[in-house]
Amino acid sequence: MEKQDAFTFMGYRRTDGRAGVRNHVLVIPTCACSSDVAEMITRNLPGAVGIHNQNGCGQVAGDRAMTLKLLAGLAANPNVYGVLLVGLGCEQLQWEIVKEAIRLQTDKPVEAVEIQQCGGVKRTVAEGKRLAGELIAQAAQCSRVPCPISDLIVGTNCGGSDPTSGLSANLVIGYVCDRLADLGATSIISETPEFVGAEKVLAKQAATDEIGQQILDIVARCEQKFIDLGENIRSGNPSQGNKAGGITTLEEKSLGCIHKAGTRPIQAVLQSCDRVNTKGTVVMDTCAYDVCSVAEMTAGGAQLTIFSTGRGTPSGNPVAPVLKLTGNEHTASWMEDFIDFDTSPSLRQEQTIAELGEALLQMILRVASGELVKHEIFGIGEIAMPRLCNYC
């Protein structure tokens, strides 16, 4: 077995010991009403990235807590050097509340502007650009240093799936997750609704009976949420795109999805946006909506995500790079401007899953060291927020 120190990347060592693969200043609106102003601050400001917040006001307590947990987790991600909060002034999630939630996780610098206090859009944007610019200048003083692969937390996701996802791309992801576990790193498998019909298979992979039961429990709770709303999870999953690509049932989709977990024992089951502190393969209880589940894993600390897509999707994430791979030869060529890695040679028996997995592992290390993935080159990065009823 290779020496672990042979697998390193050049990352940003943070004060809490974690390693970032990017060095962003993150601009966070605390509510929907300040989201466009936050975007104006981020615009044409190299070094700054931003999100749109659909929530932050008009929410019941449980839903608001989910929003706060996501925002604080994104801010605490090691890819972020510092944070600028952009508030309105009368929202439920006041910037002081968000700042305190961030402070409970990290000591990184956090600044704030408030539209009602600044006196309108122009003044807020000017002050926001000034504060963000100061944070960017501070971030520029950080240098990349050698970090062991064991510092990596890698999210996994699939979207726009077709049969090649389960037959090729997800098998390659599973191989990489096994390698990461063997090297002391962490991988996350998420999208709880896509375990339905395959949950007993996944539970058998658990390191303990208790963890296995937790997997069964989160799937049962997921199905019950739909029942309580008078809905059937199978009515919206597989999606129309999945069916057009050749997937016929949710169970079929789920059996392909869980290949991403590889074969190593599952060491923990985490709730949405929980900070990941466990090595090896872990499960996070997230929704199946791609841009939301990636955001939830990123809020948990994932520095990057490997994402399989048979049909093709350009979606990314503003905080953490999303490395897109496909097992569909047509998609790899037809949509090459956002596909980073092609696993279709495994279906043509030109390369093995292991050979492709080793190549993907090396690409992950290059991306962790600063190589841009295609959604970053295009400037595509978005999130969706988890909600109390958002499980499909």
* Measured distance CA(125)–CA(136) in Å, rounded: 16
DSSP β-ladder status, 266-270 and 186-189: unpaired
Q: Are residues 203 and 299 in the same domain?
A: yes
Q: Are residues 120 and 156 in the same domain?
A: no
* Measured distance CA(116)–CA(343) in Å, rounded: 52
Q: Are residues 285 and 319 in the same domain?
A: yes
Q: Could you tell me if residue 388 is inside a domain?
A: no
Select from 76, 104, 139 the last residue of a domain.
Answer: 139
Q: Could you tell me if residue 384 is inside a domain?
A: no
Q: Are residues 197 and 68 in the same domain?
A: no
Burial class (CB within 10 angstroms; exposed 0-12, middle 13-18, buried 19+) of 390? middle
Residue ranges, the chain, pLDDT below 70 = 1-5, 234-253, 389-392
**CATH code, domain carrying 112:** 3.40.50.920
- What strand order describes the sheet that includes 186-189? 266-270, 280-284, 186-189, 153-158, 304-308, 322-326, 341-342
Q: Could you tell me if residue 318 is inside a domain?
A: yes
* Measured distance CA(57)–CA(67) in Å, rounded: 10
Q: Could you tell me if residue 180 is inside a domain?
A: yes
* Measured distance CA(301)–CA(282) in Å, rounded: 13
Closest CA to 288 of 155, 188, 151, 386: 386
Any alpha helices (H) in the chain, and if so which ranges?
Answer: 35-42, 61-76, 95-103, 115-118, 121-139, 163-164, 170-182, 199-203, 209-228, 240-245, 250-257, 290-299, 329-334, 353-368, 374-378
Q: Could you tell me if residue 391 is inside a domain?
A: no
Q: Are residues 180 and 314 in the same domain?
A: yes
In degrees, to the nearest 5, what angle opens at C-alpha 321 toward C-alphas 155 and 376?
A: 155
Q: Could you tell me if residue 54 is inside a domain?
A: yes
Select from 81, 111, 139 the last residue of a domain.
Answer: 139
Whether 257 contacts 166, CB under 8 Å: yes
Q: Are residues 279 and 185 in the same domain?
A: yes
Select from 108, 139, 170 the last residue of a domain.
Answer: 139
Q: Could you tell me if residue 257 is inside a domain?
A: yes
Q: Are residues 169 and 283 in the same domain?
A: yes
The reported pLDDT for the residue numbered 235 is: 64
Q: Are residues 131 and 218 in the same domain?
A: no
User: How many distinct structural domains can be found in the chain?
Assistant: 2
Q: Are residues 232 and 310 in the same domain?
A: yes
The reported pLDDT for the residue numbered 120 is: 96
Condensed to tens digits (0 to 9), the pLDDT of residues 226-266 reads 888 888 776 666 556 555 656 556 666 677 789 999 999 99
Q: Could you tell me if residue 1 is inside a domain?
A: no
Condensed to tens digits (0 to 9), the pLDDT of residues 119-169 reads 999 999 999 999 999 999 999 999 999 999 999 999 999 988 888 989 999
pTM: 0.94
Q: Are residues 335 and 197 in the same domain?
A: yes
C-alpha count within 13 angstroms, C-beta hemisphere, residue 85: 27
> What residue numbers bound the domain in which 49 lies?
24-139
* Measured distance CA(160)–CA(325) in Å, rounded: 11
Q: Are residues 172 and 205 in the same domain?
A: yes
* Measured distance CA(391)–CA(113) in Å, rounded: 33
Q: Are residues 100 and 217 in the same domain?
A: no
The reported pLDDT for the residue numbered 3 is: 45
The amino acid present at 302, given as its one-letter code, is A
